[in-house]
Each structure stands twice: as C-alpha cells, then as structure tokens.
Structure 1
Amino acid sequence: MRLTPRGLVLLAVAAPLLAFGFWGGYPMLRALGAVLLGAVLAAILLTGGRRTVEVRRSVYPERVERGRPALASLRVRNPGGGRLAGFLATDATGSAIRTVRVRALAPGAEAVQHYELPTTARGRLTVGPLTLHRVDPFGLARSETHTGETATLWAHPRQLPARAPMVGYPRHHHEGTSTDRAPRGSAQLLDVREYVPGDEVRHLHWKATARTGRLMVRDLADPEQPRFALLLDTRPDALTAAEFEEAVDLAASLLGAAARAGHHSRLVTSSGLDLSTPGGAHSVRRLLDVLCELGQEGGREADLVPVSLAVGGPAGGCLVAVTGGTTPPVALAGSRHRFLAIVVIVLTGTGDGSGAPHGVERSEPAPPNAPSGPATGVRVLVAEGAEEAVRRWNELP
C-alpha cells in the first residue's frame, strides 16, 4: 500500500492544521485537520487489507505465428465468504500491458475475461502474473497485489509458402564412380529424446531411460532420405535488426517446408548453434521454438561458417546460407564437396540487388566459358526480404 500524490498533500496539510489548532486554540482548524487526517487513515484501511482471489489463465494457441491472433482466457474467482468489490487488474505480456476490469463477485462466484495478446514481435513471452489494483473512492491511497500463475506464449517467426528441396544424399559422382559416404547400416542415430505418444517401442533407449528416469527413444535417420541444412548468419554486422527478422522468417519457411516433407533438417548458425532433426511435425515445432528465441550474437571478426558445419555433422543434400549483402560467401566453397547443392540467399534490404557478393554465380547459372573462382558451383539469390527470397527459391529448377 502507498499514498497517492493527493493523499500525501492531504497528509501534509492535515498535520499543520492540527498543530496550529491545538497550539492556538482554534477548534475550526482542529476539526478540519482531523477530517483530513481521518480521510487519509480511512483510505489506508480500505486499501491495506489483503484481497484473496483465485486466478486461472489459459492461452490459446500457445504457439502462434508472429502477427497472428492469440487469446488469453482469465478466470477470477472469489473464494472468500464475503462479497468482493469490483476492481481493475493489469496483465503483462512481455512489455505490453492489458487492463482488465473485474466485476463485483459474490462468495464462490467467478468472472471470465477474454482479451487478445500482442504477437507483433517474435519471441517467447511470459503472460502474467495478474496485478490487482485497489484504490479508495477519493484516490488517496492505492495498493497492488500480484497473484495467479503465469503462462507462456510462443510467437514463432512467419512461415511463407516455400517449396521443399528435392535433394538427397550424394552417392555417386557425375562420372559414375562410387562415393558413398552415407553411414553404414539401415539407420543413423541423430539424437536421444524423451518419448512422445506415437513413437515406436522398439526405438526405446534403455540406458538413457535408466539414467534419466524417463522413457527415452532414439531419433534414427535413414541415410537414403533427403537432407537439408540451413546456415543462418547471426552476426550483428552482417544484418540489421529488421533484416535479421526477415532472415529468421526465411529460415523458418525453408526449414518448415523441408521438415514437413520428411527431410532430415539441420539448423546451423554462425554463432555455433547446430540442431539436427529427423523431419516431421515434431521437428517443425522444435525448429520453430529454437528460431523463436534466436538472437544476433558474435563479433565482427566471427566467421560465417562455423567449424561444426565445415567438418562435422551429417553431410549430403542441400545447403542454404542466409546472410546479408555485405558478406561474400566465399567460405562456403570449402564445403562444396560435402553437399550436392549450395545456395546462398543474400538479403539486401534495398531491393536493388546492390549487395550481391562478387566472384560467385548469381541466380542464373554461369556460362560454360566463365572463369572459375573459389566459390564456383555456389548459386546466389539476391532478395530484398523473405517474401521475395521465397519466391526466387520456388522458381529454382
């Protein structure tokens, strides 16, 4: 509880009136000072008592694409034996504040409030707790009480209608000599994760289950299935904040399309993140959750291609690098022998293609007599934003 500026002024006036009234023998000043002091004390008593309410909050949907509507349902119940007067409450969602007016509640009654949550910014947002505000009728004192549990809202990046890549594992050179670098056996172990309904019991990992106390299963990859890897440039000097949001939208679109098509999808960032998934709806959700919280990090001297992509992890398939208009993707030439196709998507933020790197192919193949450079075989698409980049991607043969 605290006094408002109006309450502090009344308290500052009441004290001198009482002092001068008693010192000079002025009954009118004593009465006026007593009335003002009584009003302040009454405000303190009205707002100082503890208000007991039960709050239950649900968010639907819990995961939503950035910019799409999401709703919160707030149930406020009066568990006490007396009537609960109406009050104002605020509910925080990240940095945004929503004001909720709760009507008076009889003993055991509850009120339900529905309101829209802000989803304009990508990220993992915490909704709540609810803050109850109690103010006396004259606005002399107010109190705030935090109550209720919090909920989580995932604002995923946008997903544009992208075409899934149709590139598998490289098993032969064009000359016909065998270069089978696929893992031996019928499946490759990518990860060990917690069991979810629908997983095959034969894939249970008993050692991990005994160690963690939870059912754990193997994520197995068929080496014959298509692979898709995306390298996202997270260096602050490569992309502006607005361009980075477009880059994350582009990454979500391409990775989501590949994972939904059942491709083994891999997300790599220049800051060192390396996430491999086996494909499917579970993988789409996992990739989007990671992209939801991804930020820009790394110094100016950081490399575009991390060591994990240059020398580690499963190879084969298609590699797409998303970067800015000032970074030439020459470093990707060292990974050319590990992938069937490498595509670099350069986001310029200007729409004029002025940021295209030099010494590599553009969106059309180079002529047969063109001089070969260190990045020969790397295709480059130049786009202003995610929508144009997806359109150019869909137009690739």
Structure 2
Amino acid sequence: MSAGAPSGAGGEGRPAGGLRSSLSGLTTRGRSFVAAGIAAAVCAYVLGQEELLRVGLLLAALPLICVLALHRTRHRVTGSRRLTPTRVSAGGEARVQLRMDNTSRVPTGLLMLQDRVPYVLGPRPRFVLDRVEPGGRREVSYRVRSDLRGRYPLGPLQLRLSDPFGLVELTRSFSAYDTLTVIPRTEALPAVRLTGESSGYGDGSRRSLALSGDDDVIPRGYRRGDDLRRVHWRSTARYGELMVRREEQPQRSRATVLLDTRQLAFEGAGPDSAFEWAVSGAASTLTHLLEQGFSVRLLTDTGDSVPGGEGGGGFNGGSSGGQESAVAAGLMMDTLAVVGHSDGAGLSRAHDAIRGAGGALGGAGSDGLLVGFFGDLDDVQTELVARMRQRAAGAVAFVLDSETWAGRPARETALPPLQERLRRLRDAGWTALAAPPGVAFGELWRQAGNAPLGTGTSGGWG
C-alpha cells in the first residue's frame, strides 16, 4: 500500500457468530436488567399483578433490544487507517489517522477506538467518540516514533460500541493492518573524492558506442543543431538520409557497500552499539553514493546482495538511473531496517560474491569502489579482506574493534591488535580507518577522502 493510502476501509471483522455471541456483550447493568425483569415477571404471575408483568417485560426486553440494535450497527460502521509516511528514519515520527464512518440510517452510541501498536512505538492509542449521526464520520490521529530500526505492524483496529444506556458493549476487529518501516539513521556526508574513485557520471566513466572503427558505429537520424562534423557519410549513403554518430553515453560508476553482520564480530546491543553504528554508516554511504550517481549494491557477509544478483551482479539501475535507482534505494534501506546478526564465522561468501562480479567491480580499467564496515577480524579474516582489494579500483574499510567499543577483548579471544589489522589492510591497498565510539561518521568519511592510497587517516583514529 502506498504512503497515505487508507487501509481497512469497510473491512469485515472476525466472524460474529450471530446474535448468540452478541448476547455475551451484555454488561453487568444489562444482565441486572434482564434478571430484574424475569424476577418481576415471576412475581407478577404469582401475585396476579398485570402492571408488574408489564414492568418486568420492559426491563427484560430493553437489553435485548439494545443487543439487536448494536448487532446490526457494528456491521454498518466502517474503519480505515492512513499511515504517513510508511518509511521513517530511526527517531523520526509518523502520523496515523483513523477514520470511522457510520453507513447505517440510525445514529451510533458511544464508540471506543483502539489500535494495536507494538510497545516500542509508544502506548496503545485509545479514543472515545460520542454519538455518530447517520452517514457521519469521525477522524482522530496519533503519532508513533521509534529509536530502533525495524518493521512494525500497526493494527488491527478494534472498535467497541456501547448503547446509550450502558447495557451492551460489542467489539469489532478489522482485519487490515499497515506496516511502519523504521530505517537506520543517515548522516549527510561531505563530497570527497575517495581513492580510486571516479565520479558517478563524468570523466573516466564515459564510453563511446564506436570502439573499433566505422563498422561499429550505431548512427541515428540528423537532428537540428547536431554538429555536422559528426555526420556519418557511409550510413547517410546507405539510408538515403543524413545520419550522425550517436553521442557518447555516460556509464555509471559502480560501488559495493559491504556490511559485516557476523554475531561473533560485534558485542553489545541497542542504538549505541557498534553494530548499529555500522548499519547506520552503511545506510549513509548508500544514500550518498546514490546521490552522486553511482550504481550501488549492498552486500553482506552471507553473500546476499541487494538488489538481487540477476543481471549486473546485483547493481541497480545500469545507466538509466531515475526511478530504478529510487526503487533500489528503497530495497536497500528496507533490508538495513531489518538486518540482524548472522551466524557465519567468516567473510568467504562475501569474498566469492565480489570475485564473481568480475570486471563489474574490479579488473584493469575498472572504476568500481568498495566500502566495507567490519567488526573484529582475526588473522584469517584480515587476510581475506585484504584479498578483496584486488577486485576493486578503490577500497575503504571502517573497522570497529570490540575492545574499543566494549572496553574488553572480544569474547576473550586472541585477536591481532587493531593497529596491526589496519596496517595489513593498508599494505594491501585499502584505505583503512578505525571507527571508535562517539565519532561522527561524516568526519571519518572526510578523513577517508583526504587519506593517500593505502593509508588511513593521519589523525588519532587510525
């Protein structure tokens, strides 16, 4: 459902079970009326008091009449929900608007609305609506907010109806629900030129469709304003009309953002944990590279890439950009919204996925960029990451160390010192930087842009 579209409009509730189930909606007052009416009728029969019998029948019939009226009314009250927007950043707010319509010819009694909301989004909203006239509507709204990324269901909407005498209360649950996607926080990054990077569109990323001489030229018809020096005379003679060589077509530079999700590589949980910092950094990088015109994919240690691996090795958009890139950005952000720890012990699958990209990412003349976010790396994984650099024209690594973030060695295992890991990555050609707690990712990104090939930042972080 698109953002802002109503859901649950006129949705049927759960099976009502007929009038018998509606009788269970009698309140204590309603049951007391029925009991008093029956008692009065029995006394009238025993004492021979006709007037008392009328009173007893009235007391017993009134709750039953209310049951019948509400039973019909609850199926003629429709509900809808409007969620705006459906995707927000962590810490952002979304607005939920509830609307009730009375499609019957009689007014309703007291209505109470309740929407089911996960506790992480806040308290469960409840609203009390007074009488709704025939054909009338009521609208109420509330806001939801979460500091934790994820996908959260909203609904189903529950409606409780009550008669004016308080004798009966009936509940209806609508079946439709919405989903709020909370994506990681993103940070605006400075426009820097990373090592080995060409711009998304521009010098170094253009190619001519004619690479091997006149036989490979793909001509098109002459258009007013075309440079006459681009006229292709052989094609003009063949087709009998003026033909020109097609202009050079821009080819989008490609970039891979690699996110290490191994559970053994990170410690801690919550919004301020090392893993959440890495997820937020990956989201910021993806957003920035897409804005710069790159064709981007998200890759995890499990070897899964987003967008899918069909076609261009998982890269989005080709040279079309536009709407296709926006769709791919949404897919990647939705993936980061729910990404969790993997049970993997190594990065071999990610290495194979990068190697399988072939010339799409690396190789001579490639303008591919690799940006990695890594947790703890032992000797084997450090060597594996170092070999990933061979497949990229430029590579930047942000390394998060558990000893720095948690204040103790990672799970009491022997790991090479952080500086040693960074040195080995730099020797392999990576621009490797340490990511300590509390540092703004935008500053690290700037440091990566200022670092010469194969080195980290000159400051105190690397």
Q: State the TM bucket, normalised to the shorter chain.
A: 0.5 to 0.7
Contact 1:320/1:342 (<8 A) preserved: yes
Taking every aligned residue pair, what percent have the same amino acid on both sides? 25
Contact 1:167/1:227 (<8 A) preserved: no
Tell me, which stretches of 5 or more residues in structure 2 are unaligned? 1-21, 48-52, 199-204, 211-248, 307-314, 363-367, 451-462
Q: Does 2:82 match 1:77?
A: no
Contact 1:168/1:226 (<8 A) preserved: no
- Amino acid paired to 2:280: D
**SS of equivalent residue, structure 1 residue 309:** helix
What are the Cα deviations for residues 263-282 of structure 1, in whole angstroms up to 9, with x where unaligned?
A: 22221011232122246661
- Cα distance in 2 for partners of 1:353, 1:165 equals 32
Q: Does 2:137 match 1:86?
A: no
- Cα distance in 2 for partners of 1:277, 1:386 equals 32
**SS of equivalent residue, structure 1 residue 121:** coil
- Cα distance in 1 for partners of 2:280, 2:96 equals 25
Structure 2 residue corresponding to 1:259, chosen from 268, 284, 290: 290
Contact 2:66/2:167 (<8 A) preserved: yes
* Corresponding residue for residue 271 of structure 1: 302
The offset of 1:113, in angstroms, is: 1.1
Which segment is superposed worse, 248-257 or 52-61?
Answer: 52-61
Distance 1:352 1:91, change over 3 A: closer
Contact 1:88/1:133 (<8 A) preserved: yes
CA-atom RMSD, angstroms? 4.5
Distance 1:78 1:36, change over 3 A: closer
Q: Does 2:416 match 1:358?
A: yes
Structure 2 residue corresponding to 1:288, chosen from 333, 348, 352: 333
* Corresponding residue for residue 312 of structure 1: 357
Distance 1:323 1:102, change over 3 A: farther
Q: Does 2:279 match 1:248?
A: yes
- Cα distance in 1 for partners of 2:377, 2:23 equals 55
TM-score (norm 1): 0.67
Q: Does 2:232 match 1:232?
A: no
* Corresponding residue for residue 345 of structure 2: 301
Tell me, which stretches of 5 or more residues in structure 1 are unaligned? 172-181, 188-220, 367-371
Output aligned runs, 1:172-183, within 5 Å: none
Contact 2:73/2:108 (<8 A) preserved: no
Distance 1:76 1:343, change over 3 A: same
* Corresponding residue for residue 395 of structure 2: 341
The offset of 1:349, in angstroms, is: 8.5
* Corresponding residue for residue 321 of structure 1: 372
* Corresponding residue for residue 156 of structure 2: 129
The structure with the greater share of residues assigned to helix is 2
- Amino acid paired to 1:320: V
* Corresponding residue for residue 142 of structure 2: 115
- Cα distance in 1 for partners of 2:105, 2:403 equals 62
Structure 1 residue corresponding to 2:79, chosen from 50, 55, 63: 55
Distance 1:393 1:166, change over 3 A: same
* Corresponding residue for residue 393 of structure 1: 445
Structure 1 residue corresponding to 2:434, chosen from 364, 369, 382: 382
Contact 1:344/1:380 (<8 A) preserved: yes
- Cα distance in 2 for partners of 1:345, 1:255 equals 18
* Corresponding residue for residue 16 of structure 2: none
* Structure (1 or 2) with the larger CA radius of gyration: 2
Which segment is superposed worse, 325-334 or 254-263?
Answer: 325-334
- Cα distance in 2 for partners of 1:82, 1:348 equals 66
The offset of 1:185, in angstroms, is: 6.9
Q: Does 2:389 match 1:331?
A: no
Which segment is superposed worse, 295-304 or 100-109?
Answer: 295-304
Distance 1:163 1:285, change over 3 A: farther
- Cα distance in 2 for partners of 1:341, 1:308 equals 16
How many residue pairs get matched? 338
TM-score (norm 2): 0.59
